[in-house]
Amino acid sequence: MLVWSVEASKSSNTFTIWRGEARAAPYIRCPDMEDENELIALRRKKLEMLHAKGIEPFGTGFDISGSIAEVHEQFKEGETLRVAGRITAHRDMGKSHFLDLRDATGRIQIYIHTKEVGPELIELFRLLDIGDFIGVEGTCFLTRSGEPTIKVHRFRLLAKTLRPLPEKWHGLQDIEARYRQRYLDLLTNERSRAVFEKRIAIVRETRRFFEERGFVEVETPILQTTAGGAAAEPFKTHHNALGIDLYLRIALELYLKRLLVGGFNKVFEINRNFRNEGISRKHNPEFTMLEAYWAYADFEKMANLVEELVCYLAEKICGSLAIEYPEADGKVVRTINLKRPWRRVRYRDVMREVAGKDWFDLSPEQRRERAIREFKLDILPQLADFEVTQHVFEKLIEEKTIDPLFVTHCPKELVPLAKQNVEDSSLVDVFELVINGAEIAPGYSELNDPVAQRQRLLEQAGEERQNIDEEFLLALEHGMPPAGGIGIGIDRLTMLLTGAESIRDVILFPLLRPRKL
């Protein structure tokens, strides 16, 4: 049983470290069997003692000279500065203390001595723990080893932590805990923090890329009366005041095209989509999409635009067009080469390369048989012939493609919102960009014929005629210019540029089943 007392801390210059919580020098770690609940009880005892002393453990605002990174920039010996952060290390020398303070921008060392702050504040200091937030004011000086340090004249407790943080050198070992308690993952896992800093930069630079090319950013409804723009199962809700059912959108497309009808020539949106479907390494029910539409362009121009965007981001964020995927030990598993130009190949041609030169000469029954017998694929009886071919494409081409590949001129059944090819009416003018085993972006020459669009949507809807967006068709009848469009999953793009293996590693708070308490 752990026993804590102020008297013990006064009389000894040696304290025990409980699971990485530095209380003094020399550091001593407690046995692994130590119950974390006792550590929590100890912190709550300290909380009670702070209240008993009339000290507010959860303080108000604190004026600072800047972030810790900015304080380092301003650092000049003899200068007085104010800084705040979380205690991440504590070296207790009895009458003097060295601590590390951290914020999102970096770390700085602070030095506290009884002569500077007085014995009363030192007593308060002994009620602090690793993880607590404090604000300090002090004088800048360099230690004998040249470490920039702030000699504290006064400090204030800003927030007391009631639970110990995971050990910095171990972090969160449980993968689900990393996703469920992302805040702890960010505190203890430098790689995880770096991934999300890159994601932030990817979104920022993507906006800059499109704005510099004359696109305007817009916002379209998330709650919609008809879930359109993709073939997916929506989330359904109900609006009480209007007495109508609504859906969380599954795609951005149909409202952005209305803006082309309305006279906008270049529009883009970065926002959330929602699909009530499965969860996998590449799928989360809530995900972030970029969609952009360019009046008077076509799918070829959109492919050029995507190629330019991804290379721009790779050089800006990663500093190279060679993206390395390392293992935990640092050994490079594979390298993705983004050097331009990227290969472009027609859907049927790449299928012949992989599935056999005679693939499209076979009967539907023969294609199904080859997919099952030779390629060992699980082909459900209800799959249509074009779906069988697409299943082979996904397994043998998409999942095995590492370097960038534009697959163009796909079957019209796969893309009901794309313009039909003038030379072959069974195809549409589209591309699918595949990198590292995943679809990164589709792009189309957009269908702007309202009669053909209605027929395509009817064919896709089958008996679900109520799912057709009549308001979108009405807008098309008022005239939409020819246009090119693209969609890019920001989550998958982040996976590509950070080497993350799961979409959960690039979403701050992925959807999880509620924990049983």
Of 164-173, 229-238, 255-264, the poorest mean pLDDT is in 164-173
Q: How confident is the model at residue 459 (pLDDT cuts 50, 70, 90)?
A: confident
CATH 3.30.930.10 in the chain, residues?
180-342+403-505
Q: What is the pLDDT averaged over residues 213-240?
A: 94
Q: What is the pLDDT averaged over residues 50-75?
A: 94
Q: How confident is the model at residue 129 (pLDDT cuts 50, 70, 90)?
A: very high
Confidence check: pLDDT of 23 > 70: no
pLDDT digits (tens, 9 = 90+) for 149-176: 999 999 999 999 999 888 654 556 678 8
Give the Cα separation of 414 and 407 in Å (integer): 13
Confidence check: pLDDT of 6 > 50: no
Mean pLDDT, the chain, whole residue set: 89
CATH 2.40.50.140 in the chain, residues?
6-159
Q: What is the pLDDT averaged over residues 241-246?
A: 96
Confidence check: pLDDT of 76 > 80: yes
Q: How confident is the model at residue 319 (pLDDT cuts 50, 70, 90)?
A: very high
Superfamily of domain 6-159: Nucleic acid-binding proteins (2.40.50.140)
**E strand or H helix that includes residue 433:** strand 427-435
Confidence check: pLDDT of 15 > 80: no
Residue 342 corresponds to which amino acid? Answer: W
Using only C-alpha atoms, the chain has a radius of gyration, in whole angstroms, of: 30
Q: What is the pLDDT averaged over residues 204-223?
A: 98
User: Residue 422, SS3?
Assistant: coil
Q: How confident is the model at residue 122 (pLDDT cuts 50, 70, 90)?
A: confident
The domain defined by 180-342+403-505 carries CATH number 3.30.930.10: yes
Q: How confident is the model at residue 28 (pLDDT cuts 50, 70, 90)?
A: very low
Of 268-277, 336-345, 457-466, the poorest mean pLDDT is in 457-466
Structure pTM?
Answer: 0.86
Instruction: Supply φ then ψ for residue 72, to 5 degrees.
Output: -60, -40
Confidence check: pLDDT of 407 > 50: yes
Of 185-199, 215-229, 318-332, 410-424, the poorest mean pLDDT is in 318-332
The confidence score (pLDDT) of residue 120 equals 81
Give the Cα separation of 251 and 289 in Å (integer): 8
Of 37-46, 359-368, 455-464, 465-474, the poorest mean pLDDT is in 455-464
Please report the beta strands in 93-207, taking only residues with DSSP state E, as ranges in sequence order: 96-103, 106-113, 133-142, 148-159
- The number of helices, as runs of H, and strands, as runs of E, in the chain is 15, 18
Of 26-30, 41-45, 184-188, 223-227, the poorest mean pLDDT is in 26-30
238, 215 Cβ separation under 8 angstroms: no
Give the Cα separation of 253 and 70 in Å (integer): 43
Confidence check: pLDDT of 331 > 80: no
Please report the beta strands in 260-412, taking only residues with DSSP state E, as ranges in sequence order: 266-274, 286-295, 322-326, 332-337, 343-346, 405-411
More confident residue, 11 or 411: 411
